[in-house]
């Protein structure tokens, strides 16, 4: 079963037997069996919503299982809270960081350690641990100064300080550049070689095939397969994950390059948020009939750029942002919509849709410029027709257009929002992280819709952290780093490595040289 | 020790959402029975004196409308604001300013305006309340000042202003030095519609406000924007709704409605300006708004129920010798039970076993 024959005779470090957990209305875990050997790199694989998060929360003591047994080094145990999990030797790096931005690295780590009182000695220990694993980290820096990759290092070091026997990593690479991912993998391999077990949660198949020795696949809360990922192909792993054959998006051939539809010229914007990113002389243009992708690690100014493009933050001068040649920098979101711009925001519930309102009401949220509102009155018939059209053409699985938005799964809500924006026939569409946290089927629908819109002659701008996604659908890709944006590359003339280097900020010197030359 | 905690329910029962105000009323009645018993009165007799006797005559039913109208007018405006997370707590002050502005027109311009006096008073009353509510609106949109504090503090300013006027410049020279204005005269008096009652223009306006409020919130695009701003401000920003305009609108409409209630009250049932023109209508309207689930038709029923508690309090004072504070206790209990029911519709109480001893590490 495992690649190392000897492991079979050893007691598993962690063993789950028949773990079940249900929430009202959904079954999160169903009779899950899982065992992790000492020193094993074990992948927990599944789509969003397959029950991975619930399962690790049970292991880490955040959530209690309804049924089942957890055995730790052969003995049955009960984990009541994260503190007792840590005492056992279980460490966890969360997908969303749990650091205080206004404290230093040392102070943050001191908060998690109960025993250490002497800050200076702790700082020394942090440096020792960090150097030992090749994780460069300055303990005296404030967290808000750190990049996302560095913040993750803090989280990892914090776990390592407790000398864990099992380290749980929840989707750790979504915020890293490809090069940073490689470095993280080296650390994990070393830890495993020292006997620490790693439970690695991801839906990225390539990473799992490169890193893990064993994989447990979850689908709809239940274990559907156990395998050695090194002997599988992405297609076979995807099949285990999704349960059916996964189709790839058909890339259409040559695209006809049209006029400039969305143009940003030398946009400089100070952030409102003290920890936000300054937009530093950003220039870009999206032409009709193309998809421009913006890659980059989260927190490098994407949020600020998206707000500025949507009109939620106004540009300092009206000619810095132009839609189809006309100045639009001074227009708010409604004014830009009137010019043919549509926008798919990064958060679905809470920005792109109102959780408590029905789908019909949510259809009206941005579609109020056409016939849905007349003389200040909502034309409920027209709105309902529009909502039904979205549900129908985008295969939104829901209980009807009167269902509350919060009752939909993330993927279906995203299809609804994309549909709402595209059916208004925008001439420019901006989509932020269009398939983040969305299941494979919905992602395919969304990608096809974006490509169709492009083929119909609209300009599409996609901001995403998922490089595979960008390479799949974009015509050109630019990279955002520290509030700057690189010269876009044609997809056929670049590769993931080059984009990854740019994500690390390697284009800056060149760009500075260009701007100096222009002075 | 067992741990008691509140857990959000996955789905709150739709039926219970609507039944919770009724349940709160029933619980309040039970609480009131206990209170009456402690005070040494027969609960059944007290119920009758409190809830049945006051409305057993035509005049009594009319009084229900007279007391209910200002509550409903204020509550409709407040409820629109509450939907948008605009917390106007100062309807009382806007009510007083409406009475002062409208009453001032009636006192000093009646001979000049003649038959136009009544509309002029109504407009002045609405504007008076609106201007008073415009102050918190300006402070909130310009300086991000909390409207709960500013609108509440302005209530005391309004009350002092009224006191100053009726004790000073506007005092009735023939009033034996009582703090009161001259009685309204001629066209400045809003007469009742039905003889035998004091029911007049105020009640009609309250009904119109109910219908108008319903239309605004369930049919107009502005009402839709108000709901979105209240539920999810970020979605309103994304959609491009002007949130400052919504804040202005909500405070303006609630101020104007409270002002209208004020002028109707002084020109109708009261007949002159007094320091005590309101038994706290503006504050009680907050209870009315929530008891009515912020829905205009709910507010209509809730307003009448609270009006009944005022009438019942007066009646019980006379026939049972109960202290007038019973009304306040009654209204307080109602709000308490209402909030408790609402909480339990959305959350459930979990009495869990205490945490087992930690495992040995």
Per-residue model confidence as pLDDT tens digits over B33-89 = 898 888 888 888 888 888 888 888 889 999 999 999 999 999 999 999 999 999 999
The phi and psi torsions of B34 (rounded to 5 degrees) equal -60, -45
Global pTM value: 0.80
- Give the pLDDT mean for B81-108: 96
β-sheet with A90-93: strand ranges across: A90-93, A166-170, A197-202, A41-45, A214-219, A222-227
B 161-220 → A contacts, CB under 8 A: 219-220
Rounded Cα distance between A217 and A225, Å, is 5
pLDDT band at B329 (very low <50, low <70, confident <90, very high): confident
State the first-to-last Cα distance of chain A, in angstroms, to the nearest integer: 65
Res A245 pLDDT > 80:
no
| Pair (A180, A316) in one structural domain | no
Among the listed residues A206, A309, A324, A223, the one whose alpha carbon sits nearest the alpha carbon of residue A267? A309
pLDDT band at B339 (very low <50, low <70, confident <90, very high): confident
B356 CB within 8 Å of a chain A CB? yes
| Pair (A388, A296) in one structural domain | no
Q: Do A347 and B232 make contact, defined as CB atoms within 8 angstroms?
A: no
Higher pLDDT, A511 or A15: A15
Rounded Cα distance between B81 and A62, Å, is 39
**DSSP-assigned beta bridge partners for residue A36:** A14
Closest residue on chain B to A367 (Cα): B239
Q: Do A354 and B231 make contact, defined as CB atoms within 8 angstroms?
A: yes
pLDDT band at A253 (very low <50, low <70, confident <90, very high): low
Residue A435 in domain: no
pLDDT band at A53 (very low <50, low <70, confident <90, very high): confident
CB A302 within 8 A of CB A296: yes
Q: Do A376 and B220 make contact, defined as CB atoms within 8 angstroms?
A: yes
Residues of chain A found within 8 Å of residue B358, distances taken between Cβ atoms: 80, 83-84, 87
Helix A119-132 to helix A105-112 angle (10° resolution) is 100
Residue A224 in domain: yes
Write the pLDDT tens digit of every residue in B265-320: 999 999 999 999 998 999 999 989 988 889 999 999 999 989 998 888 888 888 88
The pLDDT of residue A255 is 60
| Pair (A353, A494) in one structural domain | no
For the ranges A63-67, A335-339, A408-412, A436-440, the lowest mean pLDDT is seen at A436-440
Q: Which of A88-97, B209-218, B267-276 has the highest mean pLDDT?
A: B209-218
Among the listed residues B193, B206, B202, the one whose alpha carbon sits nearest the alpha carbon of residue B297? B206
Q: Minimal Cα–Cα distance from B355 to chain A, Å?
A: 8
Residues of chain B found within 8 Å of residue A366, distances taken between Cβ atoms: 238-240
pLDDT band at B334 (very low <50, low <70, confident <90, very high): confident
String of DSSP letters for B289-306: HHHTTT-HHHHHHHHHHH
CB B94 within 8 A of CB B258: yes
Q: Do A351 and B238 make contact, defined as CB atoms within 8 angstroms?
A: yes
Which residue matches tokens 């939104």? A396
Residue A6 in domain: no
pLDDT band at A507 (very low <50, low <70, confident <90, very high): low
- Give the pLDDT mean for A457-479: 91
- Give the pLDDT mean for A103-111: 88
Higher pLDDT, B21 or B124: B124
Reading phi first (left if > 0) and then psi (alpha if -120 to 50, else beta), residue A505 is in left
**Domain holding A35: CATH number?**
3.40.50.300
The phi and psi torsions of A119 (rounded to 5 degrees) equal -65, -40
Name the residue facing A378 among B220, B238, B358 (closest C-beta).
Answer: B220
Write the pLDDT tens digit of every residue in A343-389: 999 888 889 999 999 999 999 999 998 889 998 999 999 999 999 99
Among the listed residues A267, A258, A256, A369, the one whose alpha carbon sits nearest the alpha carbon of residue A322? A267
Res B101 pLDDT > 80:
yes
For residue A239, give Cα distances in angstroms to A29, B275, B280: 20, 79, 68
| Pair (A146, A37) in one structural domain | yes
Closest residue on chain B to A365 (Cα): B239
| Pair (A148, A224) in one structural domain | yes
Write the pLDDT tens digit of every residue in A1-38: 334 444 445 789 999 999 998 876 678 899 999 999 99
| Pair (A294, A385) in one structural domain | no
| Domain closes at, from A374, A399, A425 | A425
| Pair (A180, A115) in one structural domain | yes
- The three-state secondary structure class of B309 is helix
Q: Minimal Cα–Cα distance from A470 to chain B, Å?
A: 24
Name the residue facing A25 among B10, B237, B359 (closest C-beta).
Answer: B10
Res A285 pLDDT > 80:
yes
The pLDDT of residue B157 is 97
pLDDT band at A248 (very low <50, low <70, confident <90, very high): low
pLDDT band at A251 (very low <50, low <70, confident <90, very high): low
Q: Do B227 and A24 make contact, defined as CB atoms within 8 angstroms?
A: no
- Give the pLDDT mean for A433-439: 82
The pLDDT of residue A3 is 40
pLDDT band at A159 (very low <50, low <70, confident <90, very high): confident
Helix B221-231 to helix B201-219 angle (10° resolution) is 70
| Domain closes at, from A242, A261, A285 | A242
| Pair (A222, A313) in one structural domain | no
CB B49 within 8 A of CB B213: no
Rounded Cα distance between B263 and B100, Å, is 8
Closest residue on chain A to B10 (Cα): A24
pLDDT band at A252 (very low <50, low <70, confident <90, very high): low
String of DSSP letters for A354-395: -TTSBHHHHHHTT--SSTTEETTEE-HHHHHHHHHHHHHHTT
The pLDDT of residue A519 is 43
Question: Which residue range forms the structural domain that includes residue A314?
Answer: 249-339+461-519
The pLDDT of residue A370 is 81
Residue A414 in domain: yes
**What is the total residue count of chain A?**
519
B144 CB within 8 Å of a chain A CB? no
Closest residue on chain A to B355 (Cα): A80
The phi and psi torsions of A146 (rounded to 5 degrees) equal -85, 150
The pLDDT of residue B294 is 92
| Pair (A187, A204) in one structural domain | yes
Residue A450 in domain: no
**CA atoms in the 13 A half-sphere facing the CB of A193:** 8
Q: Do B221 and A373 make contact, defined as CB atoms within 8 angstroms?
A: yes
CB A99 within 8 A of CB A154: yes
The pLDDT of residue A147 is 74
Q: Do A376 and B221 make contact, defined as CB atoms within 8 angstroms?
A: yes
Q: ipTM of this complex > 0.90?
A: no
Q: HEC states along B3-22?
A: EEEEEECCCCCHHHHHHHHH
Residue A208, Cβ neighbours under 10 Å: how many?
Answer: 24
> Mean of the per-residue pLDDT values for chain B?
90
Alpha helix stretches (DSSP H) within B84-174: 91-113, 117-143, 147-167
Rounded Cα distance between A184 and A329, Å, is 41
String of DSSP letters for B254-289: HHHHHHHHHHHHIIIII-S--TT--SSHHHHHHHHH
Name the residue facing A78 among B221, B234, B359 (closest C-beta).
Answer: B359
Q: Do B238 and A366 make contact, defined as CB atoms within 8 angstroms?
A: yes
Closest residue on chain B to A85 (Cα): B361
Rounded Cα distance between B357 and A84, Å, is 10
Q: Do A335 and B219 make contact, defined as CB atoms within 8 angstroms?
A: no
Res A509 pLDDT > 60:
no
Rounded Cα distance between B60 and A76, Å, is 73
| Pair (A312, A418) in one structural domain | no
Provide the sign of the torsion angle of the four alpha carbons B310, B312, B315, B321, taken in this order: negative
**DSSP-assigned beta bridge partners for residue A327:** A322
Q: Minimal Cα–Cα distance from B340 to chain A, Å?
A: 22
Q: Minimal Cα–Cα distance from B237 to chain A, Å?
A: 7
The pLDDT of residue A149 is 76
Name the residue facing B238 among A79, A81, A333 (closest C-beta).
Answer: A333
Q: Give the total number of structural domains in chain A.
A: 3
The phi and psi torsions of A427 (rounded to 5 degrees) equal -95, -20
Q: Minimal Cα–Cα distance from A139 to chain B, Å?
A: 29
For the ranges A67-71, A219-223, A362-366, B125-129, the lowest mean pLDDT is seen at A219-223
| Pair (A199, A305) in one structural domain | no
Q: Do A23 and B10 make contact, defined as CB atoms within 8 angstroms?
A: yes
- Give the pLDDT mean for B162-183: 92
Indicate the helix (H) or strand (E) that contains B236: helix B233-239
- Give the pLDDT mean for B221-241: 95
Higher pLDDT, B280 or B321: B280
Q: Do B11 and A25 make contact, defined as CB atoms within 8 angstroms?
A: yes
| Pair (A178, A194) in one structural domain | yes
Name the residue facing B224 among A87, A337, A378 (closest C-beta).
Answer: A378
The phi and psi torsions of B11 (rounded to 5 degrees) equal -145, 125
Rounded Cα distance between A462 and A432, Å, is 6
Q: Do A334 and B240 make contact, defined as CB atoms within 8 angstroms?
A: yes
Residues of chain A found within 8 Å of residue B246, distances taken between Cβ atoms: none
Residue A451 in domain: no
**Chain A: which residues have CB within 8 Å of chain B?**
23-25, 77-81, 83-84, 87-89, 310-312, 332-337, 343, 345, 347, 350-357, 361, 364-366, 368, 373, 376-378
Percent of all residues in chain A with a pLDDT value above 70, rounded to a whole number: 92
Residue A143 in domain: yes
Which residue matches tokens 């077990």? A197
String of DSSP letters for A148-210: HHHHHHHHHHHHHHT--SEEEEESGGGGS-HHHHHHHHHHHHHHHHTT-EEEEEES-HHHHHH
Res B350 pLDDT > 90:
no
The pLDDT of residue A8 is 47
Residue A7 in domain: no
Rounded Cα distance between B311 and B308, Å, is 5
The pLDDT of residue B86 is 96
Closest residue on chain A to B222 (Cα): A376
| Domain closes at, from A378, A403, A425 | A425
Rounded Cα distance between A258 and A205, Å, is 36
The pLDDT of residue A171 is 81
For testing contact with chain B, the best of A350, A367, A374, A420 (most B CBs within 10 A): A350
């Amino acid at each position: 079963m495992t690649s190392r024959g000897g492991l079979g005779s050893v007691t598993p470090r962690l063993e789950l037997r028949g773990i079940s957990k249900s929430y009202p209305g959904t079954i999160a875990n169903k009779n899950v069996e899982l065992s992790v050997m000492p020193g094993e790199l074990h992948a927990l694989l599944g789509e969003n919503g397959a029950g991975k998060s619930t399962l690790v929360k049970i292991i880490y003591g955040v959530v209690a299982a309804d049924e089942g047994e957890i055995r730790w080094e052969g003995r049955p145990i009960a984990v009541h809270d994260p503190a007792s999990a840590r005492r056992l030797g279980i460490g966890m790096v969360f997908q969303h960081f749990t650091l205080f931005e206004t404290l230093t690295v040392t102070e943050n780590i001191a908060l998690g350690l109960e025993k250490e009182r002497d800050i200076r000695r702790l700082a020394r220990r942090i440096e020792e641990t960090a150097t030992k694993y090749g994780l460069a980290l300055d303990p005296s820096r404030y967290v808000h100064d750190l990049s996302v990759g560095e913040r993750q290092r803090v989280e990892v070091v914090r776990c390592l300080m407790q000398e864990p026997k099992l380290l749980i990593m929840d989707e750790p690479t979504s915020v890293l550049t490809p090069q940073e991912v490689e470095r993280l993998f080296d650390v994990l391999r070393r830890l495993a070689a020292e006997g620490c077990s790693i439970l690695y949660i991801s839906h990225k198949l390539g990473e799992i095939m490169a890193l893990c020795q064993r994989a447990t696949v979850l689908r709809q809360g239940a274990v559907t397969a156990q395998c050695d990922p090194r002997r599988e192909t992405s297609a076979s792993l995807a099949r285990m994950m999704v349960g059916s054959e996964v189709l790839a998006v058909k890339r259409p051939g040559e695209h006809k390059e049209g006029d400039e539809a969305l143009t940003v010229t030398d946009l400089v914007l100070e952030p409102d948020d003290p920890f936000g990113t300054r937009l530093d002389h950003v220039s870009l243009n999206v032409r009709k009939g193309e998809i421009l992708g913006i890659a980059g690690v989260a927190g490098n100014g994407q949020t600020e750029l998206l707000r500025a493009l949507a009109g939620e933050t106004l540009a300092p001068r009206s000619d810095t942002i132009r839609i189809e040649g006309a100045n639009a920098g001074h227009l708010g979101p409604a004014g830009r919509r009137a010019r043919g711009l549509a926008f798919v925001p990064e958060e679905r519930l809470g920005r792109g849709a109102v959780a408590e309102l029905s789908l019909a009401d949510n259809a009206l949220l941005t579609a109020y410029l056409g016939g849905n509102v007349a003389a200040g009155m909502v034309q409920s018939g027209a709105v309902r027709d529009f909502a039904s059209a979205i549900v129908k053409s985008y295969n939104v699985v829901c209980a009807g257009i009167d269902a509350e938005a919060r009752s939909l799964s993330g993927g279906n809500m995203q299809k609804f929002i994309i549909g709402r924006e595209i059916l208004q026939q925008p001439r420019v569409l901006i989509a932020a992280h269009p398939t983040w946290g969305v299941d494979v089927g919905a992602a395919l629908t969304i990608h096809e819709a974006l490509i169709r819109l492009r083929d119909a002659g609209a300009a599409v701008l996609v901001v995403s952290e998922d490089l595979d996604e960008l390479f799949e659908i974009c015509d050109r890709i630019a990279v955002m780093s520290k509030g700057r944006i690189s010269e876009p590359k044609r997809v056929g003339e670049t590769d993931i490595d080059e984009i990854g280097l740019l994500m690390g900020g390697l284009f800056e010197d060149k760009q500075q040289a260009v701007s100096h030359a222009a002075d | 020790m067992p741990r008691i905690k509140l857990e959000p329910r996955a789905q709150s029962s739709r039926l219970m959402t609507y039944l919770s105000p009724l349940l709160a009323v029933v619980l309040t009645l039970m609480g009131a029975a206990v209170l009456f018993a402690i005070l040494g009165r027969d609960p059944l007799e007290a119920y009758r004196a409190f809830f049945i006797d006051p409305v057993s005559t035509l005049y009594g039913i009319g009084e229900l409308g007279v007391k209910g109208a200002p509550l409903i007018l204020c509550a409709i405006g407040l409820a629109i604001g509450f939907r948008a997370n605009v917390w106007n707590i100062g309807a009382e002050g806007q009510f007083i300013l409406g009475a002062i502005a409208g009453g001032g027109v009636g006192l000093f311009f009646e001979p000049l305006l003649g038959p136009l006096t009544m509309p002029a008073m109504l407009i002045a009353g609405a504007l008076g309340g609106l201007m008073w509510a415009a102050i918190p609106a300006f402070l909130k949109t310009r300086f991000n000042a909390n409207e709960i504090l500013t609108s509440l503090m302005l209530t005391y300013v309004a009350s002092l202003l009224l006191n100053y006027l009726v004790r000073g410049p506007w005092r009735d020279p023939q009033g034996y030095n009582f703090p009161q204005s001259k009685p309204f005269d001629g066209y400045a008096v809003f007469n009742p519609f039905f003889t035998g009652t004091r029911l007049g223009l105020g009640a009609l306006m309250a009904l119109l406000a109910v219908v108008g409020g319903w239309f605004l919130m369930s049919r107009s695009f502005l009402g839709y924007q108000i709901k979105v701003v209240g539920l999810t401000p970020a979605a309103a920003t994304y959609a491009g709704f002007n949130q400052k305009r919504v804040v202005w609108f909500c405070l303006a409409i609630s101020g104007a409605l409270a002002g209208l209630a004020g002028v109707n009250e002084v020109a109708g049932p009261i007949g002159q300006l007094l320091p005590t023109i309101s038994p706290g209508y503006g504050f009680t309207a907050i209870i009315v708004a929530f008891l009515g689930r912020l829905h205009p038709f709910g507010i209509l029923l809730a307003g009448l129920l609270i009006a009944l508690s005022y009438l019942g309090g007066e009646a019980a004072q006379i026939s049972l010798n109960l202290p007038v504070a019973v009304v306040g206790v009654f209204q307080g209990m109602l709000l308490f039970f209402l909030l408790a029911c609402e909480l339990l519709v959305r959350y459930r109480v979990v009495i869990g076993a205490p945490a087992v001893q930690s495992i040995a590490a």
